[in-house]
């Protein structure tokens, strides 16, 4: 029996307004939450069944899929929404399904910001009879005077006589909500059991909620909203439900259903209980899952999840409703809300709420016991950029990734790939012939790269181990193919008076499911290294200097080693095309040793290779583009996890990187008239400032405590040079 507490607050005659936010005591129906972050301890597993994912409809691929749903019309169709503005459908029961266009509003949709696009979609509960569906999308088509205004649009469409095609000219715009920035648009929309349409809006963007929308009841921003689309209150094309909690609060947005939310990208209703589950993307420390109640205030930006954030902020209504589940940024950086499983194929999963993390690919499960307490467990490290979830008409739950695939949530006998299968001590991995001398095992193959990733100036040594009979497979561009069973090793070390002292070792292992990562931190004596479950901050000495170091958790590793970049970032032709430590061309040697598969007759002198970013014999542009590719392009590329839409891959012509002369969509770090790259003006170029800051907004954003001053100087010189030189369409890999 669920324990429910009804909190009644006596309405007062006077309404107070503080800092532009209406202070509104309201009645809140709130379930007693219990947050519990519970990644499994080393060696522990839940009782069977375990949770996994499997590729569904493998012959289908979608472009940035952000939602999956059935129509509820007994047609057996599944619909997948693409962020660019296209909705596709296919028959679930077809032997070889083919996706077809159901709706294409790409000409209406803005994709200038990475979070913009077609971001929400819902079928009317009576779609079978009335053919109505609803879209939530970003638009720049509206103007204030001569200026384009970014907006969120809520629209109704109707199918044509052909039930597989929507009439584009049937659009009826219900709401247009101006957006101050191009991020934190929210996006989710769904119908509740009450028949009303719910949709989420973020706080309006940038960071820290600078406009105070989270605690301002005057706006729909920073909240979940509810409208009746089957009735009208002219001149509106909808009616506000009579029991909306702020309907009778003077000055409040009547559509507002719940407030204090930073950016709910995905929410869903439990089809059995009607509970509304919402995942709110955090900022500095914490991601959170909430059960949404009418009139609830979820605290942003006075709170970030359970923690104080901005003490000066006044709550617009009381009390602060605590989340039912949270996790810190050592486990992920951008939560993706999912669904409660109510399918029929896996009754063992009944009632579990599944959600994920976009940055790390972690898949989580939250369950509620008979006393109403919540338990949250990390169940799978998927290696996917989890963009969304969805369910078909039978209640089966699916995971959507920006690799273009659809994955089904399943019960499985295969244990979760958490940390139970990693040795606790590095000495137990067999990677070292001698822990004392740090001599690598005989079957480890050393390799070197042309342009190392910035690692706070630490010395690094690199190796890989192949399974028996296994080979690397050459690719002209991008990451090489690595066989299942291979392990890639990177040691971090510092020069001491006598030798190199290791302080961290990172491993990446290729499995049949994808990739797994692990971090080992060496003890102060350098005797052995222990498996690190979460991230760790510590200090090490270099001669007479002490340095702060962050050893990343496996989840933090996954935020850079992403599927769109090929996971292993250094095993590529451009990085490996060089002479190795043996004095011989390392790729040629691997071919001779039979550990590399490549076309016969390749002349490595003619193959592309990266220069060193600090080799002055190459151009400023070439060196800068190499540095950006190595340090930034794993995220900032098509379908990468970076928030900006920029493309920093070396091969992308500069004019197509969406950086030069482009205003930033993710905040300006307080720089007036900032552009990502302002030609001839490093001071206004946000790219430089992101590299040279150590605060929030730093890039690269994971695990660094020191500024790469040489990179700051390099990028500044390149941008300054743009004022006097006409740049080419792209960088060259030759001198």
Domains, the chain, ranges and CATH? 4-412 (2.120.10.30), 422-609 (no CATH), 611-735 (no CATH)
- Residue 437 phi/psi, 5° resolution? -90, -10
Q: How far apart (Å, rounded) are the C-alpha atoms in residues 223 and 203?
A: 7
Task: Please tell me the least confidently modeled range out of 36-40, 409-413, 417-421, 566-570.
Answer: 36-40
Q: How far apart are CA 528 and CA 246, in angstroms?
A: 60
- Tell whether the torsion through CA atoms of 564, 568, 573 and 575 is positive or negative: positive
Express each pLDDT in 230-285 by its tens digit. 999 988 999 999 999 999 999 999 999 999 999 999 999 999 999 999 999 999 89
- % of the chain surpassing 70 pLDDT: 87
| C-alpha closest to that of 105 among 131, 69, 141 | 141
**Which residues does 608 contact at the CB level (< 8 Å), separation at least 6?**
476, 477, 573, 574, 577, 733
pLDDT of the residue at 332: 87
Q: Are 189 and 197 in contact (CB under 8 A)?
A: yes
pLDDT over 90, % of the chain: 64
Q: How confident is the model at residue 26 (pLDDT cuts 50, 70, 90)?
A: very low
What are 236's strand-pairing partners? Answer: none
CB 369 within 8 A of CB 77: no
At which residue do the structure tokens 């197509």 appear? 656
Element (H, E) at 127: helix 127-130
pLDDT higher than threshold 50 for residue 2: no
Where residue 16 falls among pLDDT bands split at 50, 70, 90? very low
pLDDT digits (tens, 9 = 90+) for 316-369: 999 999 999 999 988 888 999 999 999 999 999 999 999 999 988 899 999 998
Query: Any idea what DSSP says for residue 73?
Result: S
Task: Note the pLDDT tens digit of each residue in 55-82.
Answer: 999 999 999 999 999 999 999 999 999 9
How many Cβ atoms from other residues are within 10 Å of residue 234's Cβ? 6
DSSP label at 215? Answer: G
The answer to whether 556 touches 702, Cβ cutoff 8 Å, is yes
- Least confident segment among 22-36, 314-328, 669-683, 716-730: 22-36
Dist CA 133 CA 123 (whole Å): 4
C-alpha pair distances (Å), 151 with each of 175, 553, 576: 10, 38, 46
More confident residue, 151 or 140: 151
Bridge partners (DSSP) of residue 16 are: 23
Cα separation of 735 and 732, whole Å?
8
Torsion of CA 97, 101, 103, 104, to 10 degrees: 140
Confidence check: pLDDT of 611 > 50:
yes
Q: What is the per-residue pLDDT for 143?
A: 53
d(CA 201, CA 223): 6
Q: Residue 672: how many CB atoms within 10 A of its CB?
A: 7
pLDDT value, residue 10: 30
Does the pLDDT of residue 726 top 60, yes or no? Answer: no
Grouping H, G, I as helix, E, B as strand and the rest as coil, residue 196 is: coil
SS3 content of the chain, % helix, strand, coil (to 5): 10, 35, 55
- If pLDDT is split at 50, 70 and 90, which confidence band does 496 have? low
Q: How far is it, in rounded angstroms, from Cα 673 to Cα 724?
A: 21
pLDDT tops 90 at residue 735: no
Q: What is the pLDDT of residue 439?
A: 93
* Residue 667 CB-half CA count within 13 A: 17
Least Cα distance to 575 among 493, 652, 470, 479 occurs for 479
Residue 725 banded pLDDT, cuts 50, 70, 90? low
Strands (E), 382-499: 386-391, 397-401, 406-412, 432-434, 439-440, 445-447, 459-465, 472-473, 487-495
pLDDT of residue 566: 65
Residue 552 tokens read as 């990343």
Query: In this structure, are residues 670 and 710 in contact, taking their beta carbons and an 8 Å threshold?
Result: no
Q: Is the peptide bond before 700 cis (omega within 30 degrees of 0)?
A: yes
DSSP code, position 685: B
Per-residue confidence (pLDDT) for residue 545, from 0 to 100 = 73
Q: Any idea what DSSP says for residue 67?
A: E
Degrees, nearest 5: CA angle 492-493-497: 175
Question: What average pLDDT does the segment 93-112 reach?
Answer: 92
Say if residue 46's pLDDT is above 70.
Answer: no
Alpha helices in 459-584 (DSSP H): 554-558, 573-576
Running DSSP on this structure, what letter comes out for residue 11?
P
pLDDT in tens, 176-226: 999 998 889 999 999 999 999 999 999 998 889 999 999 999 999 999 999
Between helix 620-632 and helix 709-721 the angle, nearest 10°, is 130
pLDDT of residue 712: 94
Cα dihedral sign, 654-657-658-659: negative
SS (H, E, C) 264-281: EEEEEECCCCCCEEEEEC
């Amino acid at each position: 029996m669920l324990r429910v507490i009804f909190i009644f607050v006596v309405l007062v005659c006077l309404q107070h307004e503080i800092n532009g936010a209406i202070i509104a005591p309201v009645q809140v129906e709130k379930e007693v939450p219990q947050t519990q972050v519970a990644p499994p301890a080393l060696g522990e597993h839940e009782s069977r069944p375990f949770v996994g994912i499997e590729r569904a409809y493998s012959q289908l691929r979608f472009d940035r899929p952000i939602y999956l749903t059935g129509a509820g019309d007994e047609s057996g169709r599944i619909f997948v929404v693409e962020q660019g503005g296209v909705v596709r459908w296919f028959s679930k029961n077809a032997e070889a399904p083919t996706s077809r266009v159901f709706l294409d509003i790409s000409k209406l949709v803005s994709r200038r910001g990475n979070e913009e696009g077609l971001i929400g979609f819902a079928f009317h509960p009576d779609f079978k009879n009335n053919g109505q569906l609803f879209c939530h999308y970003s638009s720049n088509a509206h103007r204030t005077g001569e200026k384009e205004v970014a907006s969120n649009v809520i629209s109704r469409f109707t199918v044509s006589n052909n039930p597989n095609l929507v009439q584009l000219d049937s659009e009826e715009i219900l709401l247009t909500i101006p957006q101050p920035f191009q991020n934190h648009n929210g996006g989710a929309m769904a119908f509740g059991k009450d028949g009303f349409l719910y949709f989420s809006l973020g706080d309006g963007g940038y960071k820290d909620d600078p406009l105070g929308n989270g605690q301002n009841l005057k706006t729909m921003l920073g909240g979940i909203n509810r409208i009746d689309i089957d009735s009208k209150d002219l001149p509106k094309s909808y009616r506000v439900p009579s029991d909306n909690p702020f309907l009778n609060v003077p000055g409040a947005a009547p559509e507002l259903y719940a407030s204090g939310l930073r950016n709910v990208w995905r929410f869903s209703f439990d089809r059995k209980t009607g509970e509304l589950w919402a995942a709110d993307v955090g900022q500095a420390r914490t991601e959170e899952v909430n059960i949404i109640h009418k009139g609830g205030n979820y605290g942003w930006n006075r709170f970030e999840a359970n923690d104080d954030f901005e003490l000066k902020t006044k709550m617009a209504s009381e009390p602060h409703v605590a989340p039912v589940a949270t996790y810190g940024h050592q486990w992920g950086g951008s939560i993706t809300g999912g669904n409660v499983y109510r399918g029929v194929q896996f009754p063992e999963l009944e009632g579990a709420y599944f959600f994920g993390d976009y940055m790390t690919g972690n898949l989580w499960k939250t369950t509620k016991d008979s006393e109403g307490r919540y338990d949250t467990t990390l169940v799978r490290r998927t290696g996917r950029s989890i963009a969304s979830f969805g369910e078909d008409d039978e209640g089966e739950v699916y995971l959507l990734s920006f690799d273009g695939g659809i994955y089904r949530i399943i019960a499985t006998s295969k244990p979760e790939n958490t940390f139970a299968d990693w040795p606790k001590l590095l000495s137990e991995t067999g990677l070292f012939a001698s822990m004392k001398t740090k001599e690598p095992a005989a079957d480890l193959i050393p390799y070197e790269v042309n342009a190392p990733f910035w690692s706070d100036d630490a010395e690094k040594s690199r190796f890989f181990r192949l399974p028996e009979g296994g080979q690397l497979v050459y690719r002209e561009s991008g990451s090489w193919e690595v066989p299942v069973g291979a392990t890639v090793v990177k040691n971090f070390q510092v020069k001491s008076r006598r030798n190199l002292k290791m302080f961290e070792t990172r491993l990446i292992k290729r499995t049949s499911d994808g990739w797994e990562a692990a971090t080992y931190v060496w003890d102060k004596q350098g005797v052995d290294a222990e498996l690190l479950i979460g991230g760790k901050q510590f200090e090490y000495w270099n001669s007479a200097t002490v340095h702060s170091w962050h050893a990343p958790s496996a989840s933090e590793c996954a935020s850079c080693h992403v599927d769109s970049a090929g996971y292993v970032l250094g095993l590529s032709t451009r990085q490996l095309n060089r002479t190795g430590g043996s004095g011989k061309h390392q790729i040629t040697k691997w071919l001779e040793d039979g550990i590399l598969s490549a076309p016969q007759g390749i002349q490595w002198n003619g193959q592309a290779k990266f220069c060193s970013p600090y080799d002055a014999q190459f151009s400023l542009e070439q060196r800068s583009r190499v540095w950006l590719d190595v340090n930034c392009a794993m995220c900032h590329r098509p379908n990468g996890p970076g928030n900006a839409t920029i493309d920093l891959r070396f091969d992308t012509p500069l004019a197509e990187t969406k950086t030069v002369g482009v205003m930033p969509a993710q905040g300006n770090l307080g720089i007036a008239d900032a552009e990502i790259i302002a030609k001839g003006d490093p001071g206004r170029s946000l790219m430089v400032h992101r590299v040279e800051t150590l605060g929030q907004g730093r890039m690269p954003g994971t695990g660094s405590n020191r500024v790469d001053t040489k990179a700051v100087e390099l990028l500044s010189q390149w941008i300054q040079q743009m004022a006097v030189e006409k740049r080419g369409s792209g960088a060259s890999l030759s001198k």
